[in-house]
Amino acid sequence: MSAAIPSAHASRPLTAMLQGSMKLAEAAAGAVAVSGLMAVLTLVRGLAGTDAWIFFFLVTKPLVDLTWRWKFFEAGEQDVNIQTVVGLLLLALNAIVFFRKVADRRLPRGVLAFLAAAIFSLVCSPSSVGLNELVRLFSGSLFFYTAGPLLANVWRFNRFAKSFLAITAIPIVLSFLQQARILPFDYWDWIDGWQIGRVSGTYPTPLNLIFLLIYAMPLAMYIAGSKHESRLAKKLAWVFLASASVAVAFTYHRAAYIVITLEFLGWLYLSGRKKAAAVFLAAMAGAAVLSFTWLRMFYGQALGDSGSIDGEFFRGRGLQWYLFLNSLYTSGPFHWIFGNGGSVMANLDPQATSVLSSDEPHNDFIRILHAYGMVGLALYLSILGQFYRKAVSMLRDPEVFPRSLARIVLLALVSVVLLSVTTEPMRYPSAVWYLFALSSGLYCVERPREPLSEAAGA
Alpha-carbon distance 266 to 260, whole Å? 10
Q: Which residues contact 250 (CB under 8 A, 6 or more apart)?
A: 175, 179, 198, 199
What confidence score (pLDDT) does residue 67 get?
A: 85
What separation, in Å, do the N-terminal and C-terminal C-alpha atoms of the chain show?
Answer: 109
The pLDDT tens digits for 9-59 are: 555 666 666 666 665 655 555 555 455 445 555 555 555 567 899 999 999
Residue from 195, 207, 162, 199 nearest 360 by CA: 207
Q: pLDDT tier at 7 (50, 70, 90 boundaries)?
A: low
Residue 123 confidence (pLDDT) above 90: yes
Amino acid at 149: P
Predicted pLDDT at 37: 46
Kindly state the percentage of the chain with pLDDT values over 70: 76
Q: 396-418: per-residue pLDDT in tens?
A: 999 999 999 999 999 999 999 99
For residue 26, is it within any domain? Answer: no
Q: What is the DSSP letter of 196?
A: E
Parallel, antiparallel, or unpaired for β 78-81 and 188-191? unpaired
451 belongs to a structural domain: no
Name the H helices within 395-421: 400-419
CA 220/CA 212 separation, integer angstroms: 12
Total number of domains constituting the chain: 1
Lowest mean pLDDT among 145-149, 274-278, 280-284, 310-314: 310-314
Asked whether the predicted pLDDT for residue 241 surpasses 80, the reply is: yes
- Reported as a pLDDT band with limits 50, 70 and 90, residue 140 is confident
| DSSP per-residue letters across 248-281 | HHTTT-HHHHHHHHHHHHHHHHHTT-HHHHHHHH
Amino acid at 174: L
454 or 28, higher pLDDT: 28
- Quickly state the pLDDT bin for 247 (edges 50, 70, 90): very high
Q: How many CB atoms lie within 10 A of CB 206?
A: 24
Instruction: Note whether 267 and 240 are within 8 A (CB).
Output: no
Q: What is the pLDDT of residue 450?
A: 45
Other CB atoms within a 10 A radius of the CB of residue 35 amount to: 10
Does residue 156 belong to any structural domain of this protein?
yes
pLDDT tens for 417-444 read: 999 998 999 887 777 889 999 999 999 9
Which residues lie closer than 8 Å to 178 by C-beta, 6 or more apart?
Answer: 184, 185, 186, 197, 199, 200, 201, 202
Backbone angles phi, psi at 195, to 5 degrees: -85, 125
The Cα–Cα gap between 264 and 97 comes to 36
User: What's the mean pLDDT when you consider all of the chain?
Assistant: 83
Contact partners, residue 59, CB within 8 Å, separation at least 6: 160, 163, 164, 167
Residue 10 lies in a domain: no
pLDDT at site 62? 94
Q: In which band, very low, low, confident or very high, does the pLDDT at 77 lie, cut at 50, 70 and 90?
A: low
pLDDT at 362 over 60: yes
Q: Is residue 397 part of a domain?
A: yes
Which of residues 355 and 142 earns the better pLDDT score?
A: 142
Residue 37 belongs to a domain: no
Residue 214 CB neighbours (<10 A): 25
Residue 318 falls inside a structural domain: yes
The values of phi and psi at residue 188, to 5°, are -120, 155
Alpha helices per DSSP H over 225-352:
231-249, 254-270, 274-290, 292-303, 317-329, 333-338
The percentage of residues in the chain with a pLDDT greater than 90, rounded to a whole number, is 51
Q: Is 355 helix (H, G, I), strand (E, B) or coil?
A: coil
Q: Are 144 and 113 in contact (CB under 8 A)?
A: no
Residue 195 lies in a domain: yes
**For 146-173, what is each residue's pLDDT tens digit?**
999 999 999 999 999 999 999 999 999 9
395 to each of 42, 269, 389, 390, 409, how far by Cα in Å? 42, 12, 10, 9, 11
Q: Which structural domain, as residue segments, surrounds residue 223?
A: 51-445
Measured CA distances, 123 to 112, 158, 338, 339, 435 (Å): 16, 41, 11, 11, 26
**SS3 state at 203:** coil
